């Protein structure tokens, strides 16, 4: 009976959010398991949204995400999520899709979320004003909206949540139906994409300028190593819609040892006759030597085991 009441409350909550997101088409989420559903029972039924279960916003500069001895963010093991990965199946004609992750604080102390960092500029996070505090025993929702204009196929996205408990990476895959021939002709975004590729052919560094930067680097501010790769490199290299001029990093070049020096050189200065820009600040890029060193070290490890 108690569980049935919670199901009824959850269904009511679903109706509320559908009304709040009027004009935006919700995705149908196909679950790999029960924890991967858009609407489901709360992670902690006793923490569900009751009267008085809200946010407490505190503006203070003293809030910091803990780091380990190497200066890396500690992984969050305290906050609990309804899922860390979701599969989203939007309608092919939707311009945007909305989804959410439920976050619960099961501890006896407040936990404050200090930053929410999507992996690309087409993903927007909607939350209370940061810093956002989840009080003990409370749960609430992190909303995400993704711009689907011109997109098709399977696209991976992620969002990093930094809090006083540490760092947590959430991910989701968009399974977008392929556009028909008529839809492609009408797709303004397809024309924009080709225009952007043409600009990059003429000036590889254009991805760090103006509107291009909002997708290709702004989401990478402050990130290092694996997280930097996911947001700054994966947007071009690690996607099924990869442009023909962008190499598949999973395929190892014949007769070339991809060691630390190899990765460091191409990251720093880029590569002529390709779309690869120079990421080092000396070449007009946004990265200093230290961040390039850490990114190169990650790539050595990643493709030492994954290359074929």
**What do you get for the CA distance between the two ends of the chain, in Å?**
55
Q: Mind giving me the DSSP string for 36-83?
A: G-SS---SSGGGS--TT---EE---TT----B-TTSPBPBP-SSEES-
pLDDT score, position 20: 40
pLDDT score, position 55: 31
- The two tokens of residue 229 are 């790769």
Q: Dihedral of the CA atoms 26, 28, 34, 39 (nearest 10)? A: 30
Q: Which domains does the chain have, with CATH numbers?
A: 2-176 (2.60.40.10), 187-306 (1.10.760)
pTM of this prediction? 0.50
Instruction: Please provide residue 40's backbone torsions phi and psi, each rounded to the nearest 5 degrees.
Output: -160, 175
pLDDT score, position 35: 35
pLDDT score, position 190: 58
Asked if residue 241 lies in contact with residue 178, where contact means CB atoms within 8 angstroms, the answer is no
Asked if residue 207 lies in contact with residue 213, where contact means CB atoms within 8 angstroms, the answer is yes
pLDDT score, position 27: 42
pLDDT score, position 187: 54
Asked if residue 296 lies in contact with residue 267, where contact means CB atoms within 8 angstroms, the answer is yes
pLDDT score, position 129: 82
Helix (H) or strand (E) holding 117: strand 111-118
Beta bridge partners of 156: 173
Q: Is 134 helix (H, G, I), strand (E, B) or coil?
A: strand
In the chain (308 residues long), the average pLDDT of successive 10-residue segments reads 47 44 40 35 36 34 70 84 94 81 95 89 83 94 87 86 93 84 56 68 76 72 84 74 74 87 91 83 88 92 67
């Amino acid at each position: 009976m108690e569980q049935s009441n919670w199901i009824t409350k959850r269904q009511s909550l679903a109706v509320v959010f559908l009304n709040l997101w009027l004009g935006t088409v919700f995705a149908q989420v196909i679950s790999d398991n029960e924890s991967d559903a858009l609407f489901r029972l709360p992670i902690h039924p006793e923490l569900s949204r009751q009267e008085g279960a809200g946010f407490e916003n505190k503006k203070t500069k003293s809030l910091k995400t803990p780091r380990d001895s190497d200066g890396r963010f500690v992984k969050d093991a305290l906050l609990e999520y309804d899922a860390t990965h979701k599969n989203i199946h939007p309608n092919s004609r939707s311009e945007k899709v909305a989804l959410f992750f439920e976050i619960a604080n099961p501890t006896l102390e407040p936990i404050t979320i200090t930053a929410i960092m999507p992996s690309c500029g087409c993903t927007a996070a909607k939350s209370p004003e940061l810093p956002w505090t989840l009080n003990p025993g409370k749960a609430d929702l992190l909303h995400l909206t993704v711009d689907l204009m011109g997109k098709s196929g399977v696209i991976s996205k992620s969002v990093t949540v930094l809090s006083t408990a540490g760092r947590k990476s959430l991910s989701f895959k968009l399974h977008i139906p392929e556009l028909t021939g008529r839809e492609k002709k009408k797709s303004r975004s397809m024309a924009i994409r080709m225009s952007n590729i043409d600009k990059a052919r003429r000036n590889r560094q254009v991805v760090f300028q103006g509107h291009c930067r909002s997708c290709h680097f702004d989401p990478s501010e402050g990130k290092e190593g694996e997280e930097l790769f996911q947001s700054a490199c994966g947007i071009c290299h690690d996607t099924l819609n990869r442009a023909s001029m962008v190499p598949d990093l999973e395929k190892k070049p014949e007769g070339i040892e991809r060691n630390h020096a190899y990765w460091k050189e191409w990251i720093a200065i880029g590569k002529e006759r390709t779309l690869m820009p120079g990421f080092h600040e000396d070449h007009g890029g946004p990265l200093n030597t230290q961040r390039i060193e850490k990114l190169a070290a990650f790539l050595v490890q990643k493709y030492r085991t994954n290359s074929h």
